[in-house]
Structure 1
């Protein structure tokens, strides 16, 4: 988790001397690259160990509305993340894609015209799983993963780089619990990823 906070610290260190304005009534978008890093645990799969889920990096974007100078509401969207699923004893057994839209209530520290605006947020995440494919020992069998509804939290920072433009880095934690259904049985899995997003934003 400490490594995931490094991009947030770097953006803070590189902030411009130009004031960054996030005022009540503003809309702004952020876009960049996001990496999803699962902290998975699961039922033991037929004595071959727990499910292991790979990291993936994709494009992500957020849309934020400032209800006050310090309170915002944000929606997270992304291109589909695709993960390899494996066990220690069987190797790769599946591939699955997911989309994790999240709705957050945020608090921005400092004044509206501060040079940088650190923020925290909390809300809900709904993860859609799709395009599940059995691999290896599960090749040519049906594999499905249940969608998940859970809570989410974030911390981030914005720093002015030009008129209407700012740099951003944020860290997310999502509570994702699901059941992986296969021809060999159903295995409860907690994915609970940390995600790091780095990019730029534009204020309208």
Structure 2
């Protein structure tokens, strides 16, 4: 076979394989991988019985199994639901005169619904996209450490949060069904936390406490996807 014919055959094969990778209306993507929630938090100072203690809180990172289901409304638009196994974060106390470090921990679920636009639907393996959507974060299993409960801290409660989300990412097609995905999101998460302190040595009997924390995490996901 002449070189020119071989070249044409290879080009035709690549064109066919790439065309098979293009998204179409009605396609469904199921992604499974690892998702890391990395808070970029800021906090008000903790108020105890109306008094400003002069220090706030911070929240650490956590990684869990991320689940993602997307449905293509058109060849370039899909709607995507982000879910995951529950994230558990340590709640740390910033520099303070009480000598506290880890105050407690809280678990949350941050389901996020996003509308994504895919730039390149020509059939290329590399499919970049951007998106925006809404997030609802539900906190549960909030608790102080045993040490802090012994001091008299109790009744830790974090309000649920409703906010926006933006993201950028890409799919890379390995074949007509399997893909690799990577994405980064910014999610607007803010919560009001409340608690009670009972410690006669500190002069705090049933003293109510409160603090507002803007968690505002960056959420990183690396996953494997299957296109139905």
TM-score (norm 1): 0.88
Equivalent-residue separation in structure 2 for 1:150 and 1:159 (angstroms): 29
Q: Where do 1:1-16 residues align within 5 Å?
A: none
- Residue 148 of structure 2 is matched in structure 1 by 137
The count of aligned residue pairs is: 189
Instruction: Tell me which of 53, 65, 79 is aligned to 2:85.
Output: 79
TM-score (norm 2): 0.79
Per-residue CA shift, 1:49-90, capped at 9, x if unaligned? 221101000001111111111111001110000000011222
Q: Where do 1:93-112 residues align within 5 Å?
A: 93-112=103-122
- Residue 165 of structure 2 is matched in structure 1 by 152
Larger radius of gyration: 2
5+ residue gaps, structure 1: 1-15
Equivalent-residue separation in structure 1 for 2:148 and 2:67 (angstroms): 36
Equivalent-residue separation in structure 2 for 1:167 and 1:176 (angstroms): 28
Instruction: Tell me which of 178, 186, 194 is aligned to 2:210.
Output: 186
Per-residue CA shift, 1:106-133, capped at 9, x if unaligned? 1001125122110011010000100000
Which of the two has greater helix per residue? 2
Partner SS for 1:152: strand
5+ residue gaps, structure 2: 1-13, 47-51, 197-207
Equivalent-residue separation in structure 2 for 1:185 and 1:49 (angstroms): 13
Q: Where do 1:53-64 residues align within 5 Å?
A: 53-64=59-70
Equivalent-residue separation in structure 2 for 1:94 and 1:159 (angstroms): 40
Partner SS for 2:24: coil
Partner SS for 1:22: coil
- Residue 35 of structure 2 is matched in structure 1 by 34
Equivalent-residue separation in structure 1 for 2:171 and 2:149 (angstroms): 45
Query: Shift in Å at residue 138 of structure 1?
Result: 4.5
Partner SS for 2:148: helix
Equivalent-residue separation in structure 1 for 2:221 and 2:155 (angstroms): 33
Query: Which has the higher mean CA deviation after the structures are superposed, 32-41 or 183-192?
Result: 183-192
Equivalent-residue separation in structure 2 for 1:143 and 1:48 (angstroms): 19
* Root-mean-square deviation (Å): 1.7
